[in-house]
Amino acid sequence: MIHSEVFPDAESEEVEFKLAQGGFPNDFWKSYSAFANTQGGIIVLGIGEKKGKFTIEGLSSAQLEKYQKDFWSGANNRNTISFNLLSNNDVKEYELKGKKLLVFHIPPADRKAKPVYLTKNPLGNTYKRNYEGDYICRDEEVKRMFADADTSYSPDSRLLTAYTIDDIDQASLKQYRQLLSVVRPSHPWLALDDIAFLTQLGGYRKERKTGKEGFTVAGILMFGKYLSITDEECCPKFFPDYREKHTDTIQERWADRIYPDGTWECNLFQFYRLVYPKLSSRLPKPFQMEKGQRIDETLAHTALREAFVNTLVHADYTAPGNIIIESRPEMFSFTNPGTLLVTLHQYYSGGISECRNTHIQKMFLLIGGAEKAGSGVDKIMSGWVASHWRRPYVLLEAEPDRVVLEMPLFSVLPEDTLESLKKYFGNVVETLGKDELTTLSISEIEGEVSNAKLQYYLDRHKTDITRLLQDLCKRGFLTMEGKSRWTTYRLNREFAKNEDTSKNVDTSKEDTSKNVDTSENVDTSNVDTSKNVDSSDDFIYTKTKLVSESALGKQIREICLDEYISVEEIAKRAGRSEKYLKNRIIPKMLDEGTLIKMHPQKNHPQQKYITKGKSN
C-alpha cells in the first residue's frame, strides 16, 4: 500500500512523476520494471517538471478512467510486461490542490519473479533503478537475476567434475577439522575420511541421475588452492581484499592489507582465519565471568563476526567486483558483489533469510562462524546497538551490483559532537527532539546528511524526513545544497551571526498587528513537523506549531489528570523534549500548585506527577 498521501517535491529512487497529458506514458513500463527489480516505488501520473521544479497539472476524469484501463490491459499482457505485481488496492486516484492524480504503488518483485521485463524478451528489455533514474540492465545482470530466481539450486553446489583432491589445500582442510574438534569435540563427522567429510559439508557430491561426482564450488572456495579457485571453471573473479586504515588522512593509503599476494593460500577459510582476529582486536573486551570461565567476547563481537561471514556467504561469485572488508577509524565496512535477495524492509525486519550459498553457510555454521537462517541480521543490529553505537545500515549499489554493510564505531551523539553543536547553535540544541539532534549530529560527523541516509537512522517515512529537513532549514540549523535526488544538507555554521543580525534589525516601522503574541514564552522544541502541514501548500511546505506555556500546561494537566505520570512519559505524550519540561515547565507548574509530586524528595529517581485535586 502507499505509505503516505503527501509526496516529496522531487523524484527519488522511490517516486517517479510523469505528466501523462498526451496519453498513457510510453515509458511507464520501464519505470514499472525498474521499481519491480529494485526496492519498489510509486509512479504518479499528472505531475510535470518545469525548470527543475515539479508542478501538479492533474488529470481529467476521462483520462483517469482511460489510463486505468490502459494499465490493467498492459499489466495482464505478456507482450507488454512479464509479470503483474499489482492488485486493485495498489492503484489509487488522489486529489491534491483540487487536481486529480493517478498513483501506482509498484512493490518489489520476489526473487522468483525476477527479472520483470518488457515484451517477451528479457535481454535488452529489463530495467533497474538507481540515483539517476531507470537504466537498462546488461545481459549478464539479467542472467544473474534468472540464476537467483532458481531457489531449488544453490550456486555453490555446482559440480566441478575436472577437479581432484590436488586442488584442495590440505593445510586448510586440516585446520578446519581442528577448529571443528574444538567447537564440537564429539561431532561424528570428525571420524570420516576427507572425501566423506567434504560430502557431509557440501564440498563434494554425486549426482544420482547422471552418476557424475566431484568437488563443488563451495568445497573449492572454502578449502581450495587460489589458482584452482580462479580457474575459468570455478570463480575467475575471486579476489577477497581486507584493508585497514588507522587515520583519516589522505596520505595514508592502507596501514595493513590482506589480499591474494602469493604469501598465503587464498581461500575463504584462510581469509576468515587471517582477517577476523584483526577486526575483533578493535573491539573492547571487558572482563566477564560465566560459570567460572572467562568470556572474552561481547554481543558486538558476535555482530561483527556475523557481518563478516554474511559477506562471504551471500556474495555472488559470478558477478564483477571483489569482496572488500575495510577497517577504518570511524567504521567497519563489508562489501560483497551481487544483489540483496530480500527487500531492504525484510532485511531490517529480520527473521527472513534468503541465502545465496547454502553450503558455505553450513561450513561456517558448524565452526560457530554464522547464525542459523533468519537470525543473523538480528544479531548484527542488536549487538551493535547494545554497544551504544550507531545502527548498522545497508547500501545497495548498481552497475556493478554490490551490497555494502556499514557498521559505525561512534554513538549517535558523542559528547564532543554535542559540544560542537552548542558552539554553532548555543544552548538551543538542548531543546531539540531526538530526531532533530540525530540529524544535526550526523551532519556534523559526516559533513553532510541526506534523506536517503536518514532513512537508516530515523523511524520515520521518507516524506516525514523531508519535512523534518525542511523545518531544520527554515529554522536556520541546516543549509540545502543541490536539488532533486542529489539534495544534501549541511550544518549552518553561520547560525550565530544570523541570529545576531536579526536582533539588530530595526523593527520600529514594522506592522506588528499580525505578529505572534509574545506575552508568553513560546516552546517550539521537539515538534513533530509531520503533522503540521501548511494547508495552503501541503505538497511541499510545513510550518512549526507555536505552543504557549499556558497551552502546554493545560495539555500536561490533562495528561496527568487520572494518575501519576513520569516526566519521560509526559514528554512523550506532549511531543516535547524531556529536558525542556524538567528544567522549565514542570518546576513552574509545581510553584503554581497545578501539579503535585508523588515523592517529596527533589531528585527522587521514581518521581511522578499528578494534576492537583486528583491525588489520593
- Backbone φ and ψ of 160, nearest 5°: -115, 80
CATH number at residue 87: 3.30.950.30
Q: Which residues contact 154 (CB under 8 A, 6 or more apart)?
A: 218, 355, 356, 357, 358, 359
- 213 within some domain: yes
pLDDT in tens, 65-78: 999 999 999 999 99
Is the domain of 397 the same as that of 452? no
Residue 444 neighbours by CB distance under 10 Å:
21
Looking at the fold, whether 51 and 161 belong to one and the same domain comes out as: no
Among 502, 536, 556, give the residue marking a domain's end.
Answer: 502
Same domain? 323 vs 191: no
Share of the chain above pLDDT 70, in %: 82
Check residue 485 and give its pLDDT.
62
Block residue for cell numbers 602469493 = 262
Phi, psi (degrees; rounded to nearest 5) at 336: -130, 145
Range 574-599 average pLDDT: 82
Residues 459 and 586 in one domain: no
Measured CA to CA, the distance from residue 461 to residue 448 in angstroms comes to: 20
Query: CB–CB of 14/129 below 8 Å?
Result: no
Identify the CATH number of the domain in which residue 568 sits.
1.10.10.10
Q: Angle of helix 268-280 relative to helix 170-183, nearest 10 degrees?
A: 50
Q: Of the candidates 137, 163, 180, which is a domain's last residue?
A: 137
> Which has the higher per-residue pLDDT, 521 or 56?
56
The three cell numbers of residue 382 are: 542488536
Classify residue 535: in a domain, yes or no: no
Predicted confidence at residue 291, as pLDDT, reads 52
Residues 330 and 353 in one domain: yes
Q: How does pLDDT run across 6-32, given as a tens digit for each residue?
A: 455 455 558 889 999 999 998 999 999
pLDDT at 406: 94
Give the pLDDT band of residue 389 (cuts 50, 70, 90). Answer: confident
Q: Judge if 70 and 133 occupy the same domain.
A: yes
Of 613 and 207, the structure prediction assigns the larger pLDDT to 207
**Tally of domains in the chain:** 5
Same domain, 466 and 552: no
Quick one: pLDDT at residue 383?
85
pTM of this structure:
0.64
What is the tens place of the pLDDT at every residue in 112-135?
Answer: 999 999 999 999 999 998 876 889
Q: Euclidean distance between the first and final Cα of the chain, in Å?
A: 48
Residue 576's pLDDT band, with cuts at 50, 70 and 90, is confident
Ranked by mean pLDDT, the top range of 94-98, 351-355, 475-479 is 475-479
Residue 389 lies in domain: 241-246+258-284+296-408
pLDDT in the model for residue 464: 84
For 146-188, the pLDDT digits (tens) are 999 888 889 999 999 999 999 999 999 999 999 999 999 999 9
Q: What is the CATH number of the domain that holds 280?
A: 3.30.565.60
**Domain limit, last residue, from 365, 382, 408:** 408
Same domain, 161 and 265: no
Q: Are residues 54 and 124 in the same domain?
A: yes
For residue 509, pLDDT over 90 is answered with: no
Q: Is 147 contained in some domain?
A: no
On whether residue 149 sits in a domain, the answer given is no
Residue 412 confidence (pLDDT): 59
pLDDT level of residue 499 (50, 70, 90 thresholds): low
Q: Which of 403, 362, 411 is nearest to 386 (CA)?
A: 411
> In the prediction, which pLDDT does 572 show?
76
Instruction: Give the residue-averaged pLDDT of 471-500.
Output: 80
pLDDT range class, residue 451, cuts 50, 70, 90? confident
Do 267 and 402 share a domain, yes or no?
yes
Q: Does a structural domain hold residue 142?
A: no
pLDDT on residue 13: 59
pLDDT in tens, 317-335: 999 999 999 999 889 999 9
Same-domain pairing of 159 and 127: no
Most confidently modeled range among 271-280, 372-381, 388-397, 515-524 = 271-280
The verdict on residue 387 lying in a domain is: yes
Q: What is the pLDDT of residues 283-317, one digit of tens each?
A: 876 555 555 555 567 888 999 999 999 999 999 99
Residue 235 lies in a domain: no
Find the range with the poorest average confidence among 368-382, 385-399, 472-486, 513-527: 513-527
Is there a single domain that holds both residue 262 and residue 318? yes
Q: Average pLDDT of the chain?
A: 83
Alpha carbons 490 and 68: distance in angstroms, whole number: 42
Q: Longest Cα pair distance anywhere in the chain, in angstroms?
A: 96
531 in a domain, yes or no? no
